[in-house]
Amino acid sequence: MNSLILSTISRLLVGLMLLFSLYLLWRGHNEPGGGFIGGLVAAAGIIVYGLAEGPALMRSLIRVDPRTLVLIGLLLAMVSGILPLLQNNAFLTGMWVFIGATETDKGLALGTPLLFDIGVYLVVVGGVSGMVIAMEEEL
């Protein structure tokens, strides 16, 4: 598409949408949101940029083949489920590590639910953007 307005706005919009998608991803393992909706927002931003600039620049924005993103996301989600099995817990049981914990404050809590959400995020971004790139390249 050869629209100067869309091309200009898409550069700004993609950054804002990617930043908002990371916010949704981060808060999602404790509140509504998470990997799926964050991945959809990120993919929508990438798609807007791709529609304005073309599939070649869309691929260069992602920098990694979308199929590789899907594979890495599936592996992360699988690892988040297998880690509890190593400690004789049920599959996908939440495990947590507290960074900077004190007696009065738990610090930063990182756990397998966040790892699972990151995996889902990558699967959604890779899958949706890969489908759109394939359709754009066919046109």
Beta-carbon contacts of residue 81 (< 8 Å; ≥ 6 apart):
91, 92, 112, 116
Parse the chain into domains and list their residue ranges.
4-138
With contact defined as beta carbons under 8 Å apart, do 38 and 116 qualify?
A: no
CB environment 49-61: b (16+ within 10 A), e (fewer): bbbbbebeebbee
Three-state secondary structure call for residue 119: helix
The pLDDT, as a whole number, for residue 120 is 96
pLDDT in tens, 33-60: 789 999 999 999 999 999 999 999 999 9
The mean pLDDT value of the chain amounts to 91
What confidence tens digit (pLDDT) does each residue in 65-80 have?
Answer: 999 999 999 999 999 9
Tokens matching residue 59 = 């691929």
Distance CA 51, CA 130 (A): 13
Contact criterion met (CB below 8 Å) for 43 and 18: no
